[in-house]
Amino acid sequence: MSKPLVFEKPLGMRDTLPHLYEIKSISRTAMETIVRQWGYRFMQTPTVEYYDTVGEASATLDQQLFKLLDQEGKTLVLRPDMTAPIARVAASSLKDEPLPMRIAYAAHVFRAQEQEGGRPAEFEQFGVELIGDGTTSADAEVIALMIETLKAVGLNNFQVAVGHLGYVDALFKEILGTDQRTETLKRFLYEKNYVGYRQHVKELPLSSIDQKRLLDFLQLRGGTAGLEQAEELITSTRAYEALEELQTLRDGLAAYGVSDLVSLDLTLVSHMTYYTGVVFEGYAPELGSPISNGGRYDTLLSKFDMDTKATGFGIHLDHLIEAVHPREEKTFTHCIVYSEKQRKDAIAFCQKLRGQGETAVLQDIKGIENLDGFTEKFSNVTYYLGKEEGVSK
Amino acid sequence: MTSTKLTIAMPKGRIFEEAVQMLREADYALPPEFEDSRKLIIDIEEEDLRFILAKPMDVPTYVEHGVADVGIAGKDVMLEEKRNVYEVLDLGISRCHLAVAGLPGTELDSVAPKIASKYPNVASSYFRSQGRQVEIIKLNGSIELAPMIGLADRIVDIVSTGRTLKENGLVETEKIMEITSRFIVNPVSYRVKANRIDEMVNRLEKVIEGKEVVR
C-alpha cells in the first residue's frame, strides 16, 4: 500500500464545492420549510455512536459500518442512519414528551463501500420520524409529507412504491407454517433473487395451489397490481389486517391528493427484520437507485427500552439533486476594490451595501495578482483607488 | 414524460449469440447484421431498444448503476459480483457448470492449499461452505495453466464441454453448481419501467417454456 498523495481522499468521500453547496443549501431550506409547516421539529445527534447500541439497531449491514475504537477499547460507529440515533433520544432524553412525537433531521450519514467507488460513503440524509403513532394515518402522513417535500425541491416526475411486510410475513407463514421457512423464502425476495425464489417454491413439499399462490405473489407489483389480486392469495386474519391497512392507507393518500404518484408493490422487502408494516421507496426515472425510502419500524424503539410504534422516511439529498438538477440562483455580488488611501471610504460604502442586504466583497488592490481575472466573476465592481471618489465599472 | 426506451446490457462473446437468438425468438426484430457490428452501443429504433455490449463480468455493474435497465448475465457472474439487481428469469441458455479441477492423483497442500480462479469470491465461499480454508490466487484467464506449472493445487472455473481441461491433462474433482444465463433488472427500472420490462419477461418466458417442452 502506498502512502496517500496530498489530493487523495478515502474511498467514497467527496468534497462539496461552493456551487454544489449552494444548490444543496437551497434545496434543504425548501424541504425544511415544508417539514416545519407540518409541525416537525429538527434535532441533531452525535456523528459517533456506540456499535453495541445504535450500530446494532440500525438497518445497515455490518460490513458497511465505519468502526473505530475509543480509549477504553469500546467499538464506535460513524452513524449509518439517523433513525436509530433518534430512537435512542426519543427513548431517553425525550421520553417524557407527549406522544406522538414529530422529529426531523438533515444530517450526514456514513456507509462504507464494500468493493469499489462510484457511490458516496458519506452522504446527507433528510428525513422525519413520527414516533408513538401506530395508526395507518401516520403512515399516510409520512408518505404524503415525503411526496410534498420532494416536490418542494422541484421533483415532479417520480413514483412511490408501497408494500407491507405484515402481508408478506402472514402470507408466507400461513402457507409455510414455520418462521424459519418463512425467513428462508423471504431472504430470496430481499436478495432480489426471483429465480431462486421460484426454484425454492417448486422444491417445497406444498400442494400445487399453495405453490401457485407463492408464485403469483411475485406479480403483485407494477402499475396493474391491485389489492383485489392480493386478497385472492390469502386466508389468515393477519394477512387480511395488513390488506385492510393498505386499503385505509390508499384512502388516506387519496385524501392528501397524492394517489397518482403511488403504486402498490407487495414484493418490496427492503430489509429482513427492520421494517414491520408499511414500507415504501421513491424512484426518479433517470436514477439507478431510490431517492428516498422509509416505513414502519415498530420493534426498533423497544431496543432502546421504549415500547412504542414509529414510522418515518429518509431522502437521499445527493440523489435528489441529481434527479432535479436545480439551478443555482445567481446571487448579485458587488466587488469593491480599494487602495490604502481610500480604505475608509471603501469600507463605509461596503457596509452601506451590506446593510441594504447586498452581498459585497471588499478587496485591497495590493492583494490581487490578476485584476481582470479576479473581477470577472462579479456582477458589479466599484474602485476606490488613488485620491478620487469611487467609480463603478 | 419518462422515456420508455429500454437499455439492455449484453455480454460479448460466448453468450452473446445465444442471447440474440433468444430475443429474436421472442419476436424482437433485430437486424441480420446485428451480430457482426463492432459498435458498443446499438440502437434499434423500431423496437425502442438500446443495446450496450459489455464484458460478461461487467454486465451486472452496468445494471446495478442503472445505466442499463436490464441485462443478460451468467449465474457465475452473479455469484461472483453480488450486485444489487433483480434476478428475474433463468433463460436456460449457455449451460455449463462451475467446478474444481486439478492434475490427476494430486492432493491439496495440507499447510496452505492454493486455488487459482477467475472467481475469487465464488471459490472462497465454496471452500468455506465445505469447512476448508484455502488461499485464493486471482487470475484473469487461461486458469488451466496454474496447476500445470505449480502455481496452485486446484482451479475453480466454468466447464462447458470439458475439452480444455482434458487437452491440458486436468480432471474435474468437484462439481460446484450448474450455471445458466439470467435476465437481470435494475431495481428502479423494475418499477419505473414495469410495463416494458414485464412485457419482455413474458415474451422471454414463452420462449423458455417452448424450449423446455422440446427438451
Min CA distance, B37 vs chain A (Å)?
Answer: 28
Q: What is the pLDDT of residue A226?
A: 81
Whether residue B129 is predicted with pLDDT greater than 80 in this model: the reply is yes
pLDDT average, residue stretch A132-154: 96
What is the CB neighbour count within 10 angstroms for residue B103? 15
Q: Is any Cβ of chain A less than 8 angstroms from the Cβ of B182?
A: yes
Q: Cell for A92?
A: 431517553
CB contact under 8 A, A196 and B186: no
**Identity of the residue in A194, A263, A290 whose CB atom sits nearest the CB atom of B88:** A194
Nearest Cα of chain B lies from the Cα of A279 at a distance, in angstroms, of: 15
Q: Could you tell me the three cell numbers for B105? A: 492423483
Taking the CB of residue A301, how many other CB atoms lie within 10 A of it? 20
Distance CA A120, CA A112 (A): 8
Give the model confidence (pLDDT) of A318-376 as tens digits.
Answer: 999 988 877 766 778 899 999 999 999 999 999 999 999 999 999 999 999 999 999 98
Measure B115 CA to nearest chain A CA, in Å: 21
Q: Are the beta carbons of B195 and A265 separated by less than 8 Å?
A: no
> From A261, which residue of chain B is nearest by alpha-carbon distance?
B192
Q: Ramachandran region of residue A245, left (φ > 0), alpha (ψ -120 to 50) or beta?
A: alpha
**Mean pLDDT computed over B39-53:** 93
Find which of B191, B193, B199, B204 to mutate to test the A interface (most A CBs within 10 Å of its CB): B191
Q: Which residue of A has its CA nearest to B182?
A: A195
CB-based contact A263 B191, cutoff 8 Å:
yes
- Measured in angstroms, the CA of B100 and the nearest CA of chain A are apart by 23
The amino acid that residue B189 corresponds to is: S
Percent of chain A with pLDDT over 70: 95
Q: Which residues of B touch A284 (CB under 8 A)?
A: 188
d(CA A297, CA A274): 6
Q: From the DSSP assignment, how many helices (H) and strands (E) are in chain A?
A: 13, 15
Does B181 touch chain A if contact means CB atoms closer than 8 Å? no
* DSSP-derived pairing of the beta strands B135-138 and A359-364: unpaired
Q: pLDDT at position A270, please? A: 83
- 3-state helix, strand and coil shares in percent for chain A, rounded to the nearest 5: 40, 20, 40
Nearest 5°: the CA angle A246, A250, A255 is 145
* All domains in chain B, ordered by first residue: 6-94+180-214 (3.40.190.10), 96-177 (3.40.190.10)
B198 touches chain A (CB under 8 A): yes
Name chain A contacts of B87, Cβ cutoff 8 Å.
Answer: 192-196
Which residues of chain B neighbour A223 with C-beta distances below 8 Å? 194-195
- B138, B179, B192: which to substitute to probe chain A, counting the most A Cβ within 10 Å? B192
pLDDT band at A172; cut points 50, 70, 90: very high
Contact, A255 vs A243, CB < 8 A?
no
| Helix residue spans in chain A (DSSP H) | 18-37, 56-57, 83-91, 136-152, 165-176, 179-190, 194-203, 208-217, 227-232, 237-256, 317-324, 343-355, 371-375
Residue B2: pLDDT band (50, 70, 90) is low
> Among all residues of chain A, which has the CA nearest to that of B3?
A285
Q: Would you call B191 and A159 a contact, using CB atoms and an 8 Å cutoff?
A: yes
- Averaged confidence pLDDT in chain B: 92
Residues 50-69 of B with CB under 8 A from A: 64-67
Q: Spell out the domains of chain A, with CATH numbers in brackets.
A: 18-158+284-324 (3.30.930.10), 333-392 (3.40.50.12590)
pLDDT at B149: 95
Shortest Cα–Cα distance, A105 to chain B (Å): 25
Predicted confidence (pLDDT) at residue B187 exceeds the cutoff of 90? yes
CA neighbor of A123 nearest in space, from A323, A320, A318: A318
d(CA A23, CA A17) in angstroms, rounded, equals: 10
Residue of A nearest to B121 (CA): A115
For A162, the closest chain B residue by CA position comes to B191
User: How far A250 CA sits from the closest chain B CA (Å)?
Assistant: 18
Instruction: Categorize the per-residue pLDDT at B88 as very low, low, confident or very high, splitting at 50, 70 and 90.
Output: very high
CB neighbours of B30 closer than 8 A, spacing ≥ 6? B20, B23, B24, B44, B47
Of A11 and A382, more confident: A382
Chain A residues in contact with B198 (beta carbon < 8 A): 222
Q: What is the pLDDT of residue A335?
A: 93
Q: Which residues of B touch A187 (CB under 8 A)?
A: none
Q: Residue B155: in which H helix or E strand, if any?
A: strand B154-159
Q: Which residue has the cell 415525503?
A: A146
Inter-chain contact B2–A285, Cβ cutoff 8 Å? Answer: yes
Rounded to an integer, the average pLDDT of A62-83 is: 93
ipTM: 0.86
Mean pLDDT of chain A: 91
Q: Report the pLDDT averaged over residues A22-51.
A: 95
Q: What is the pLDDT, as a whole number, of residue A387?
A: 65
User: Residue A287: which of B188, B190, B194 has the nearest Cβ?
Assistant: B188
Q: From the list B1, B67, B195, which residue is nearest A288 (CB)?
A: B67
Strands (E), B58-118: 70-74, 86-90, 96-102, 114-117
Least confident of A217-231, A292-306, B55-69, B105-119: A217-231
Write the DSSP string, B128-149: HHTT---EEEE-SS-TTHHHHT
Residue B58 DSSP class = G
Lowest-confidence range among A58-67, A110-119, A154-163?
A110-119
User: Minimal Cα–Cα distance from A119 to chain B, Å?
Assistant: 9
Span B118-138, average pLDDT: 95
CB B157 within 8 Å of CB B118: yes
- Which helix (H) or strand (E) segment is B43 a member of? strand B41-44
Model pLDDT, residue B1? 41
pLDDT of residue A328: 66
Residues of chain A in contact with residue B84, where contact means CB-CB under 8 angstroms, are 192
> Is A195's CB within 8 Å of B89's CB?
yes
Task: Read off the pLDDT band of A312 (50, 70, 90).
Answer: very high
pLDDT at B37: 79
Closest-CA residue of A relative to B87 is A193
Nearest chain A residue to B78, by CA: A193
Instruction: Give the nearest chain A residue to B90 (CA atoms).
Output: A195
Cα B135–Cα B81–Cα B73 angle in degrees, nearest 5? 130
User: pLDDT digits over A212-228, tens only?
Assistant: 999 999 989 865 668 88
Binary contact (B191, A221; C-beta < 8 A) = yes
Contact at CB, B186 and A288, closer than 8 angstroms: yes
Check whether A288 has a pLDDT greater than 70: yes
Q: Do A288 and B198 lie within an 8 Å CB cutoff?
A: no
- Measured between alpha carbons, how far apart are the two ends of chain A, in Å? 54
Specify the pLDDT at position B36.
Answer: 80
A interface residues, B as partner, C-beta within 8 Å: 118, 157, 159, 161, 192-196, 199, 221-223, 263, 265, 281, 283-285, 287-290
For the record, the C-alpha cell of A356 comes out as 441594504
